[in-house]
Amino acid sequence: MESNFNPQKTPNFSIKTTTFDQPNILFTHHFTFVFHLLLICIFFTHPLPVSTQSWDGIIVTESDFQALQSFKQELIDPNGFLKSWNDSGYGACSGGWQGIKCAQGQVIVIQLPWRGLGGQITSKIGQFQALRKLSLHDNVIAGSIPKELGFIPNLRGLQLFNNRFTGSIPPALGSCPLLQTIDLSNNSLVGTIPASLANCSKLYRVNLSSNSLSGSIPIPIAKSNSIMFLALQFNKLSGVIPDSWGIEKIGVKPMFQSLTFDHNFFSGPLPVSLSKLTDLQEISVSHNQITGTVPVEFGELSKLQVIDLSYNFINGSIPTSFSNLTSLKSMNFAHNNLTGEIPTFLGEKLNLSSFNVSYNNLSGSVPTQLSSKFDSSAFVGNLDLCGYSLSTPCLPSSPPSTIPSPPSNHRGSNKLTTKEIILIAAGAVIAILLIICCILLCCLFKKRQGGRQKDAAAGGGPGGGSGGPVAGKMEPPPQVEAAGEAGGKLVHFEGTMGFTADDLLCATAEIMGKSTYGTVYKATLEDGDQVAVKRLREKITKSQREFEIEVNLIGKIRHPNLLAMRAYYLGPKGEKLLVFDYMPKGSLTTFLHARGPETPVNWLTRMQIAKGMARGLLSLHTHHNIIHGNLTSSNVLLDENINPKIADFGLSRLMTTAANSNVIATAGALGYRAPELSKLKKANTKTDIYSLGVIILELLTGKSPGEAMNGVDLPQWVASIVKEEWTNEVFDLELMKDASVIGDELLNTLKLALHCVDPSPSARPEVQLVLQQLEEIRPDAATSSGDDGGGAGPSISE
């Protein structure tokens, strides 16, 4: 172990392993944003024993061994997953027993989801005194949830959803002081919600949805100041929703972010105290029996994004205070008894992406901002509402001209039956949709192109580039497509697809993500080609002249491990779009952190990604003299062969200094920023190496740097465990299966990564050396991502 890694430099933190590999706090909304995983920081208060086991493991304690035996006995294992639990306990704690993780001979994790397990959970479960996580979701386990779980002082996570548990939720669970997440959704539980759960002061995620629970919501739960997510939908809960939300206890604010109470039998009014939940982002009480009005105080919920009150008996009008809900994206008030007009602020002040007030008793005209954005099904069923479709004109003197008058009906009045309204609306909607579809997408880019754009390409039309990975030195001149007077300018680079500005602006687009620099869309062109389009935020780019000089340089860079820019577009009002290859496999972040346990990522693949990144970065640093400045796993994209491609390089050159400081700050929050950048403010090759090191650590540990490891960042966490010689504890459990074969490779890569994240910039290697060492650790077989690209020099010159 010749070592570049100096343990003296690493801080000395006491270490506890988190047991939460997938916090899974993914918010699903009605619209198609792809949200980043929101990782919740978990801080543990009590230090816990952590395994000091060597690669050979140690023997499980007698008490835990007995409990494991009963656990196996009482389960039914039709697929034989528990066959590995066959020896006298020797293998239980050394990786031989599937689904078990130990520390110091005690079981700390039992994780057996999607195994087809039946039977029931043994009452001896209480013997696992060190157990932190019990995850048995997606099986067919029946019987009751043992009250003995309440005797486990270390229990943090209980994932029993998608099973067949019966009986009631044991109130004893309230005695688990460290419990953080409890998900019992989609079982057959009955009885009431135990108020004692509110005694777990670390509990932040409670999911009891899709059971047959009855009774009302206990007041102590409403008063909780730890719970963030409370999901109670699809039960038989009833009574009035308590009015005790948002009570600040000794200066600690309530944490609720999401309350889903839909599909129950709640009655009575909406509690005003909900308005005190300052962090609330989503509330759903649809399909209940709520009466009364919508409290004006709801206008104080400044972070509210989704509100669904549909299918209740709510009356009164929509409060004008809703104009203050600037975060609101989705509003569903369908099937209630609301009266009054739709207040125009809903169209003017709010930017809603989903809206529905159908089947109420609203009157007046629909603001054009809403009627142009949402189809008539969002407004139907309000007899006195007009102006949302051709068949509901607001002026009595202007009958619809293009729609044939419907045959008179038996009522003998001018009013149409609901069926007719729907038929006519449907016809009109289909016609309008075809038109609006295109307009909407153009609106996405904020600019509707006026006239058709003329193809005034300088080089004789698009598509002239020689395909394939052409050497970076000999690009054909960029092809410029000037659009009509009102239009903008589209510039293609080598390897272009033959699209016009019109094709691009009217492509079907879907938001993939947002960053400091702008929003990324997946755009499908008319011919089915897919591209990624980055729409840069306004006022963050340099002057147009400087911008064009820089973007023309970046657009010429071609390397198998760098994401190629294919074109850019400058709109007439200064809007800027960058067009890149679309990578169907998405980013390394998603690939690594948002996958099921049944799709492991093996060491070979991880190594291939590490090497590819190093090659891409080498090309940037040595051949193009570009500092990336924002290298994160979400900026590393994967092609269909899992070859990594670094994205977003060079963009900092297009931006103002202020925008770039912003990016550096964000990188800090994400855990990829070199420590010296907090003072230095300007990225360099050594700060890029730091970020590369963090990503390699991410590949080794399977942990996201955003995930707080007891309040320290990923490099510090790894370094401190290594220092205490618990090295095997840092690696992703998945990799440990083959530890006997690849153990040395893991260790050497770990050393290299720690070298890259050395707190002292001068101690970090240059990228040539990183690549060289990675190639020494695992020599390439026939590599597909070799140095065959233009620009990337094959020689390692040190």
Ligand X SMILES: *[C@@H]1O[C@H](CO)[C@@H](O)[C@H](O)[C@H]1NC(C)=O
Q: Which residues pair with 489 in a beta bridge?
A: 482, 570
DSSP class of residue 425 equals: H
Stretch that binds ligand X, among 81-89, 409-417, 627-635, 769-777 (CB under 6 A): 81-89
Residue 103 C-beta: closest distance to ligand X, Å: 21
Q: Which is nearer to ligand X, 445 or 649 (CB)?
A: 445
Q: Which CB sits closer to ligand X, 19 or 187?
A: 187
Cβ proximity to ligand X: between 355 and 547 the closer is 355
Among 58, 142, 195, 482, contact with ligand X (rule: CB under 6 A): 195
Would you say 229 or 569 has its CB closer to ligand X?
A: 229
Q: What is the DSSP letter of 712?
A: B
For ligand X, give the closer residue by CB, 23 or 693.
Answer: 23
Q: How far is the CB of 341 from ligand X (least distance, A)?
A: 11
Cα dihedral 636, 637, 639, 641, rounded to 10, equals: 50
Beta bridge partners of 480: 491
Cα 102 to Cα 110: distance, rounded to the nearest angstrom: 9
196 binds ligand X (CB under 6 A): yes
Work out how close the CB of 323 gets to ligand X at its nearest, in angstroms, rounded to a whole number: 5
Q: Rounded to an integer, what distance in angstroms lies between the CA atom of residue 513 and that of residue 519?
A: 6
Could you say which of 299, 484, 498, 743 contacts ligand X (CB under 6 A)? 299
Cα 733 to chain centroid distance, Å, stands at: 23
Spatial CA neighbour of 289 closest among 323, 314, 321: 314
- 128, 156 Cβ separation under 8 angstroms: no
Q: Please list, in sequence order, all residues whose beta carbon lies within 8 angstroms of the beta carbon of residue 413, skipping any fewer than 6 positions away.
A: none
Measure the CA–CA gap between 13 and 760, rounded to whole angstroms: 19
Which one of residues 120, 159, 185, 216 is an interface residue with ligand X (CB under 6 A)?
185
CB of 209 to ligand X, least distance (A): 5
Q: ∠ CA(767), CA(772), CA(776), 5° rounding?
A: 145
Is residue 773 close enough to count as binding ligand X by CB under 6 A?
no
Report the C-alpha gap between 699 and 12 in whole angstroms.
23
Measuring CA to CA, how many Å separate 403 from each of 365, 374, 407, 422, 668? 20, 20, 12, 13, 59
Q: Answer yes or no whether residue 302 interacts with ligand X by CB under 6 A.
A: no
Mapping DSSP onto H, E and C, the string for 618-629 reads HHHHHHCCCCCC
Question: How many Å apart are CA 331 and CA 34, to the nearest integer?
Answer: 20
Residue 207 interacting with ligand X (CB under 6 A): yes
Any contact of residue 353 with ligand X (CB under 6 A)?
yes
Rule CB under 6 A: say whether 315 interacts with ligand X. yes
- The full 3-state SS of 514-544, as one line of letters, equals ECCCEEEEEEECCCCCEEEEEEECCCCECCH
**Binding flag, residue 369, ligand X (CB under 6 A):** no
Residue 235: which residues within 8 A CB-CB, separation 6 or more?
Answer: 208, 209, 210, 211, 212, 213, 214, 263, 264
Q: Which of 567, 561, 575, 585 is nearest to 487 (CA)?
A: 575
Shortest reach from residue 104's CB to ligand X, in Å: 23
Q: Which of 65, 128, 229, 493 binds ligand X (CB under 6 A)?
A: 229
Burial 17-41 (b: 16+ CB within 10 A, else e): bbbbbbbebeeeeeeebbebbebbe
- Give yes or no for residue 321 binding ligand X (CB under 6 A): yes
CB of 622 to ligand X, least distance (A): 39
Of positions 358, 391, 479, 608, contacts ligand X by CB under 6 A? 358
Check: CB of residue 255 under 8 Å from CB of residue 281. Answer: no
Q: Does 334 bind ligand X (CB under 6 A)?
A: yes
For ligand X, the binding residue among 130, 155, 378, 626 (CB under 6 A) is 378
Among the listed residues 69, 199, 278, 293, the single contact to ligand X using CB under 6 A: 199
Instruction: Give the residue, chosen from 444, 457, 509, 774, that forms a contact with ligand X under the rule CB under 6 A.
Output: 444
Q: Which is nearer to ligand X, 130 or 370 (CB)?
A: 370
Strand partners, 119: 75
**361, 341 Cβ separation under 8 angstroms:** no
**Which of 110-118, 281-289, 333-341, 456-464 is the region at the interface with ligand X (rule: CB under 6 A)?**
333-341
Stretch that binds ligand X, among 316-324, 496-504, 586-594, 643-651 (CB under 6 A): 316-324
CB atoms within 10 A of CB 251: 6
What tokens does 39 get?
């990782």
**Nearest distance from C-beta of residue 441 to ligand X, angstroms:** 11
- Contact status: 226 vs ligand X (CB under 6 A): no
Question: Which residue's CB is nearer to ligand X, number 17 or number 260?
Answer: 260
CB-count burial class (<10 Å; 0-12, 13-18, 19+) for 451: exposed
Both tokens assigned to 34: 């792809």
Lay out the site mask for ligand X across 89-108 (x = CB under 6 A, - = otherwise).
-------x------------
Contact partners, residue 668, CB within 8 Å, separation at least 6: 677, 678
The DSSP bridge partners found for residue 385 are 364
Give the torsion sign (CA, 270, 276, 277, 282).
Answer: positive
Q: Give the nearer residue to ligand X in terms of CB position, either 98 or 656.
A: 98
Closer to ligand X by CB, 141 or 637: give it: 141
Alpha helices in 671-766 (DSSP H): 677-680, 685-701, 714-723, 733-736, 739-756
Nearest approach in angstroms of CB 28 to ligand X is: 6
From the list 725, 727, 710, 713, the residue with the least C-alpha distance to 759 is: 713
Closer CB to ligand X, 244 or 605, in the complex:
244
Instruction: Name residues contacting ligand X, limited to 231-270 (CB under 6 A).
Output: 231, 258
Cβ pair 479, 491 in contact under 8 A: yes
* 52, 73, 313, 406: residue in contact with ligand X (rule CB under 6 A): 313
* Cβ nearer to ligand X, comparing 120 with 687: 120
Of the residues 186, 216, 257, 685, which one makes contact with ligand X according to CB under 6 A? 186
Q: Find how far residue 128's CA is from the centre of its chain.
A: 34
Q: Which is nearer to ligand X, 532 or 564 (CB)?
A: 532
Q: What is the closest distance, in whole angstroms, from the C-beta atom of residue 175 to ligand X in the complex?
A: 8
By the rule CB under 6 A, 288 interacts with ligand X: no
Q: Which of 22, 66, 238, 339 binds ligand X (CB under 6 A)?
A: 339
Strands 229-231, 205-207: pairing kind = parallel
**In the set 324, 496, 589, 630, which binds ligand X (CB under 6 A)?**
324
Closer to ligand X by Cβ: residue 361 or 530 = 361
> Smallest distance, Å, CB 401 to ligand X?
25
User: Residues touching ligand X: how many (CB under 6 A)?
Assistant: 39
The contact mask relative to ligand X for 127-146 (x = CB under 6 A, - = no) is: --------------------
CA distance 174 to 185: 18
Residue 320, interface with ligand X (CB under 6 A)? yes
- Asked if 282 is part of the footprint of ligand X (rule: CB under 6 A), the reply reads no
Cα first-last separation, the chain: 22
**Binding residue (CB under 6 A) for ligand X from 89, 113, 170, 174:** 174
Mask 501-540, x = binds ligand X (CB under 6 A)? ----------------------------------------
- Footprint of ligand X (CB under 6 A): 83-84, 86, 96, 161-162, 174, 185-186, 195-196, 199, 207, 209-210, 220, 229, 231, 258, 299, 313, 315, 320-321, 323-324, 334, 337, 339, 351, 353, 356, 358, 361, 374-375, 377-378, 444
